[in-house]
Amino acid sequence: MSAFDELDPTTRTELEAAAFRRLLQHLDDNKDVQNIDLMILADFCRNCLSKWLVSAAEARDESLSYEEAREYVYGMPYSEWKELYQPPATPEQMAAWEAHHAKKKAAKQG
């Protein structure tokens, strides 16, 4: 058991929340890192974080729409962020995504 596991639940939740907020700040500070690049390398992106927030809210019987969660994660409406910071995926990015997706699919079947 790690020292983290031995923390009281409130402290643990506060540390996890602080780390999540720091992750969001890091992503905001690095807008040049595209969602497709995150998906290729880490199999998650800003939209995934938004979906996970919605799921967490639902688990607590709280109301949080996907668009509300995305606005929190992106720091602005997604449509605005997309227009300002998300260029179309390059052919190289799409090829890398397709290769990543195929590898993941093959691993599930094997």
pLDDT in tens, 25-38: 999 999 999 999 99
Instruction: Of 75, 73, 80, give the one whose Cα is nearest residue 46.
Output: 73
> CA torsion, points 19, 20, 25, 29, in degrees to nearest 10?
90
Estimate the crossing angle of helix 35-42 against helix 91-109, to 10 degrees.
Answer: 30
Can you tell me the distance from the alpha carbon of 36 to that of 45, in angstroms, rounded to the nearest whole number? 7
Domains of the chain: 30-106 (1.10.3340.10)
Count of CB atoms within 10 A of residue 50's CB?
22
Would you state the pLDDT for residue 38? Answer: 96
Tell me: the pLDDT tens digits for 24-75? 999 999 999 999 999 999 999 999 999 999 999 999 999 999 999 999 999 9
Q: Do 38 and 26 meet the contact criterion of CB atoms below 8 Å apart?
A: no
